[in-house]
Amino acid sequence: MTPVMKCKLEQIAKKRGLSLRKIATDIGLSDTSYESLRRIAKNIASSFNAEIIGKVCVYLQVTPGELFEVEGVSVPKVEKEVNIPYELHHYLDLGLIQQCNFLRSSVVDYPRQSHDVKFVFDREYERLRKAMQHSTDPSLKESFEELTTIYLTQKGGT
């Protein structure tokens, strides 16, 4: 099965007694942006706006990693440091590649983002940086190095 990124916004909102419309209204989304949010939540969007995701994460006090999951990848729950079999590294790297690509696509807007969106971005970048210590994929490491260069340049410009 090919790994697919899925949004868990509807489940999170339902647990908290919130509707997508309420979330959109509370974070100040236009009707067009609400429709984008609805498509993301229904997992029918092929791309999404990092600012919308950032606002939703701040509002719900979750990280993008908690808002999205990668299906088609079996990752053991880790309570302590374990040796992960080599075959699993490929699947773990797929999730890291998606996270890296998401951050890389949104980092160019970093200087124009609100403080809250920057906070979420910084936190996710730090999580990704820590996860990269276990990656065995040279192309992922190269992609992360590019992200780091752009991130540090953009962050320095704020």
Q: What are phi and psi for residue 2, nearest 5 degrees?
A: -75, 130
The CA–CA distances, whole Å, from 145 to 47, 53, 91, 114, 125 equal 23, 24, 20, 25, 12
pTM of the model: 0.50
Cα–Cα dist 6/8, whole Å: 7
Listed as ranges, residues in the chain with pLDDT below 70 are: 1, 3, 73-100, 134, 157-158
- Domain extents for the chain? 4-156
Task: Provide the pLDDT for residue 84.
Answer: 45
Task: Provide the pLDDT for residue 91.
Answer: 47
Cα–Cα dist 89/46, whole Å: 26
Q: What does the block give as tokens for 110?
A: 């970093």
Q: What does the block give as tokens for 149?
A: 């260069």
Task: Provide the pLDDT for residue 74.
Answer: 63
Annotate 108-126 with DSSP letters as a single string: TTGGGS-HHHHHHHHHHHH
